[in-house]
Chains A and B, each alone.
Chain A
Amino acid sequence: MLTAPVSSAAVRFETVAAQAEAARAQDREADAIRLYREGTHLQPAWWGGWWYLGTLLYDQDRFSEADAAFRHLLLSPSQQRGPAYAFLGLCEYETGSYGDALAHFRAWAGAGWTGSPELRDVAVFHFALLLTRDGRFVESLYLLASAAPRLGDTPELSEAMGLASLRLRYLPEDFPPAQREAIWLAGKAALYAAQTHEQFDQADEYATRLESRYGSQPGVHFFRATLYGFELKKTEAENEYRAELKISPNDASSMVALAQIDLEKGELIEADELTRRALHGDSKDAEAHHVLGRVLLAKGDLNASLSELETAKQLAPGNPAVRSHLAMVLSKLGRAQEAKAESAAFIVLKNKEDVMASAEVKLGEKPREKIH
């Protein structure tokens, strides 16, 4: 008497599960959804059931319901959680819960960017959109550029790259319509520059059109300078950074980039001044501390350099270049053991640059630019 209901429920579950699988295989989505709902109700630890329920609902653009299904997978064994994080991020993006979405994409990255190639492409794309919205333009462009050779010239990708390139903290669905042409032109330029065989002629053509039409807008010269940087046209890049600073006198990114060019040219006085100006605006700007550390190293002020580089390391522990420069300063100060440790850290981090490293490693820096 006592075991009969349990057995009956188990039998019912087996029947429902088989019917759900059959309905899904036969593309009877509505039936499959109903059956997966029933099956997961009968057996809440049926992870496969939650997974298919979530994906079926997601495919029907029913994002709130899909989100609820995928949440159950967070209780599943760890190997099943990874793709669920990605789907949760996607569902929350669609329902406008951007903070939660970003957190779930980070969890997905931390879990190793798992999932099918299609899921990875879609999730990386939306992750990047949210990073742009969060002001983390470099990280966003890193993700988008890594996808560009695979995805090719798609309107969505170029628009996303345009937003990040112009450092506009918007999503594709909420930027001011009047900015569309500038975003398109910047995106095309960035997309061509990001192809496996960099197509700089095409990139330059779009960038020139962008500059001729929107050269008085903040961010345009900075983007042009960045592009010139990729093309190793340092004089042109320098001119563009200076043009950006005329339009946006407090643009820390341009100051730091210009300081790096100065440093290479040995113009240490301006480099020192620019990095300090950048830090005056934002004392937590890791790259400004890093470049100032290098300037002080070049000047021979080793202790001050060490202090700046230590700060940069604290703010951006995943940046290999900081560790490399730290090793140099420590070595010059005769602190051989510490220098060796920093060199080892540099090698580890450098090796991770070419792989899909975890979000903490790849995307650990805080946003520098706050345009809006």
Chain B
Amino acid sequence: MRKAPLIVCLAVCGIGGTLAAAQKTPAAPKPSLDQLLQTAGRAREENHDEEAIRLYRRAVALEPESEQGLWFLGTLLYEKKQYPEARDVLRQFMTLRPDAGPGWALLGLSEFETRDYRRALDHLQHAMAAGMGDREELVQMVFKEVAELLIRFERYDDSLDMILKMLDTKAEQPDLMEPAGLAGLRLPLLPAEIPPNRRELVDQAGRAVLALQTRHNEEAESEFHRLVTSYPNEPGVHFLYGAYLMGARPNEAVPELERELEISPTHVLARIRLAEAFIAQRDFDRALVLAQQAIQLEPKRASAHEMAGEALLAKGQSADGIKELEIARAGDPAVSRTHWDLMRAYTAAGRKEDAELEKKEIEKLQQSNSSSDPSAGGEIPHDRATP
């Protein structure tokens, strides 16, 4: 139902219109190809889709590199829900027109339908990078599918960033409650994969996350409270609430995160957020224990090394602290908090040149990300791990 208008838009006012002009076909194309394309075009405009598909197939058989033929054949097959064939045709098309954002979009959407999720994500992200012009409906579809796929690939924070971006636009939004709930609970499922008996849990979490993202703070508070009350033993729920409280009322976050660890004893991010809370409370011993446990569970997690480094520095163990921060920096060089920590640590250790390098990195990051001093703004390190 939703796809027909999209294709109409693509076919009539979109990429198809420019393709005829962009054809690489030599100046004197084979008349039969021209005739076929014209006849197929008329059939398409008159909504005789099956006939149009048949004619475009013939055109592509005659000239396998006919961009116009491939594009319209691909879009029509997609519209007819013949996704595997649409995918194959669009792949061929994209080898000729790798600059065509809407082409990547339609290819990614076809791959999504054939459950080739890795390629779908790659190609939809290609579409976002290449741009899809003013095709608002297509843009919204692509963003939503990307947000959903990021969740399935366990990139929850990236997905939440996408959802936030979508909410920040003025365009009419698709329903984001389920993706928001899945990302918040860190469940790597597509909406269609949510088991029926867990849908209410996901929806409840989604309502809370969306209320927070849209800055309806009272509603968010109420929704989070309802979530925790309704699902007190569900993995992920107390972490989500605790992460929210870290921003709203940090002192109340600790019991929630500790409760999460009772339910999910190997929860790495709960440990990291707890360590962060204890550092804020200047309880560096507890922070260090939690950070070291997180490192043991997931040695490559940069934010765990960050917390360990901060705790060690605060305890006066400068050399070990710097070592941990350098591991954090290597794991995720784009986090300004790490560079601030290192700059201060190097300065205290008399390593002026190293401190200067960190300062330059901070300036670079500020230019690209508008980063600020986390000590003033409370930036969350590495993993947002929060709505």
For A214, the closest partner residue in chain B by CB is: B195
Residues of A near B192 (CB, < 8 A) are: 177
Total inter-chain residue pairs, C-beta < 8 Å:
47
Interchain CB contact under 8 A, A62 and B266: no
Does A180 belong to the interface (CB within 8 Å)?
yes
Residues of B near A209 (CB, < 8 A) are: 235
Interchain CB contact under 8 A, B187 and A60: no
**Distance in Å from the Cβ of A240 to the closest Cβ of chain B?**
20
**Distance in Å from the Cβ of A195 to the closest Cβ of chain B?**
11
| Additional pairs, 5, CB under 8 Å, beyond known A180-B190, A202-B266 | A30-B96, A61-B91, A62-B95, A156-B118, A205-B265
Residues of B near A62 (CB, < 8 A) are: 91-92, 95
Interchain CB contact under 8 A, A181 and B235: no
With A30-B96, A184-B188, A201-B266: A178-B91 Cβ-Cβ less than 8 Å: no
Residues of A near B96 (CB, < 8 A) are: 30
For B193, the closest partner residue in chain A by CB is: A180
Does B115 belong to the interface (CB within 8 Å)?
yes
* Residue-wise interface mask of A (76-94) relative to B, using a CB-CB cutoff of 8 A (1 in contact, 0 not): 0000000000000000000
Chain B contact residues, CB within 8 Å of chain A: 88, 91-92, 95-96, 114-116, 118-119, 152-154, 187-190, 192-193, 195-196, 198, 235, 264-266, 297
Does A173 belong to the interface (CB within 8 Å)?
yes
Residues of A near B189 (CB, < 8 A) are: 180-181, 184
Residues of A near B95 (CB, < 8 A) are: 29-30, 60, 62
Which of these, A60, A61, A174, contacts B115 with CB under 8 Å?
A174
Interchain CB contact under 8 A, A205 and B264: yes
CA distance A201 to B116 in the complex (A): 32
CA distance A62 to B116 in the complex (A): 15
Residues of A near B193 (CB, < 8 A) are: 177-178, 180-181
Interchain CB contact under 8 A, A155 and B154: yes
Which of these, A155, A173, A178, contacts B188 with CB under 8 Å?
A155
For B153, the closest partner residue in chain A by CB is: A155
Residues of A near B266 (CB, < 8 A) are: 201-202, 205
Residues of B near A61 (CB, < 8 A) are: 91, 119
CA distance A227 to B234 in the complex (A): 23
CA distance A30 to B189 in the complex (A): 37
CA distance A229 to B192 in the complex (A): 34
Does A110 belong to the interface (CB within 8 Å)?
no
With A155-B188, A181-B195, A205-B266: A173-B118 Cβ-Cβ less than 8 Å: no
Interchain CB contact under 8 A, B115 and A173: yes
Does A172 belong to the interface (CB within 8 Å)?
yes
- Could you tell me which residues of chain A, from 50 to 80, have a CB within 8 Å of some CB in chain B? 60-62, 64
Residues of A near B91 (CB, < 8 A) are: 60-62
For A192, the closest partner residue in chain B by CB is: B266
Q: Among A64, A155, A174, A199, find the residue whose CB has the most chain B CB atoms closer than 10 A.
A: A155
Residues of A near B195 (CB, < 8 A) are: 178, 181
CA distance A156 to B95 in the complex (A): 26
Q: Show 21 residue pairs from A and B whose CB-CB distance is below 8 angstroms, ordered by the A residue.
A: A29-B95, A30-B96, A60-B91, A61-B119, A62-B92, A155-B152, A155-B154, A172-B115, A173-B114, A177-B193, A178-B196, A180-B190, A180-B193, A181-B187, A181-B189, A181-B195, A181-B198, A184-B189, A201-B266, A205-B264, A209-B235
Residues of A near B152 (CB, < 8 A) are: 155
- Could you tell me which residues of chain A, from 155 to 193, have a CB within 8 Å of some CB in chain B? 155-156, 172-174, 177-178, 180-181, 184
Q: Among A60, A61, A172, A173, find the residue whose CB has the most chain B CB atoms closer than 10 A.
A: A61
Residues of B near A64 (CB, < 8 A) are: 88
Chain A interface size, as a band, is: 20 to 34
**Distance in Å from the Cβ of B298 to the closest Cβ of chain A?**
9
Residues of A near B92 (CB, < 8 A) are: 62
Residues of B near A201 (CB, < 8 A) are: 265-266, 297
Residues of A near B235 (CB, < 8 A) are: 209
**Distance in Å from the Cβ of A332 to the closest Cβ of chain B?**
48
Residues of A near B264 (CB, < 8 A) are: 205
- Could you tell me which residues of chain A, from 286 to 323, have a CB within 8 Å of some CB in chain B? none
Residues of A near B153 (CB, < 8 A) are: 155
CA distance A94 to B174 in the complex (A): 32
A-B pairs with lowest CB-CB distance, top 3: A180-B193, A173-B115, A177-B193
Residues of B near A174 (CB, < 8 A) are: 115
Residues of B near A60 (CB, < 8 A) are: 91, 95
CA distance A183 to B54 in the complex (A): 41
For B118, the closest partner residue in chain A by CB is: A156
**Distance in Å from the Cβ of A92 to the closest Cβ of chain B?**
15
For A96, the closest partner residue in chain B by CB is: B84
**Distance in Å from the Cβ of A173 to the closest Cβ of chain B?**
4
**Distance in Å from the Cβ of B192 to the closest Cβ of chain A?**
5
Residues of A near B198 (CB, < 8 A) are: 181
CA distance A173 to B193 in the complex (A): 13
**Distance in Å from the Cβ of B256 to the closest Cβ of chain A?**
19
For B90, the closest partner residue in chain A by CB is: A61
For B96, the closest partner residue in chain A by CB is: A30
Residues of B near A184 (CB, < 8 A) are: 188-189
**Distance in Å from the Cβ of B156 to the closest Cβ of chain A?**
12
Which of these, B114, B188, B190, B297, contacts A177 with CB under 8 Å?
B190
CA distance A344 to B235 in the complex (A): 52
Residues of B near A180 (CB, < 8 A) are: 189-190, 193
**Distance in Å from the Cβ of B179 to the closest Cβ of chain A?**
15
Residues of B near A29 (CB, < 8 A) are: 95
For B300, the closest partner residue in chain A by CB is: A152
**Distance in Å from the Cβ of B113 to the closest Cβ of chain A?**
11
CA distance A205 to B264 in the complex (A): 7
**Distance in Å from the Cβ of B158 to the closest Cβ of chain A?**
13
CA distance A62 to B70 in the complex (A): 14
CA distance A281 to B192 in the complex (A): 37
Residues of A near B196 (CB, < 8 A) are: 178
Residues of B near A172 (CB, < 8 A) are: 115
Residues of B near A177 (CB, < 8 A) are: 190, 192-193
* Residue-wise interface mask of A (1-34) relative to B, using a CB-CB cutoff of 8 A (1 in contact, 0 not): 0000000000000000000000000000110000
Residues of B near A173 (CB, < 8 A) are: 114-116
CA distance A199 to B298 in the complex (A): 10
Residues of A near B115 (CB, < 8 A) are: 172-174
For B235, the closest partner residue in chain A by CB is: A209
For A182, the closest partner residue in chain B by CB is: B195
For A64, the closest partner residue in chain B by CB is: B88
Residues of A near B114 (CB, < 8 A) are: 173
**Distance in Å from the Cβ of B364 to the closest Cβ of chain A?**
29
**Distance in Å from the Cβ of B266 to the closest Cβ of chain A?**
5
CA distance A178 to B193 in the complex (A): 5
Residues of A near B188 (CB, < 8 A) are: 155, 184
CA distance A60 to B192 in the complex (A): 29
**Distance in Å from the Cβ of A145 to the closest Cβ of chain B?**
20
Residues of B near A181 (CB, < 8 A) are: 187, 189, 193, 195, 198
CA distance A334 to B153 in the complex (A): 60
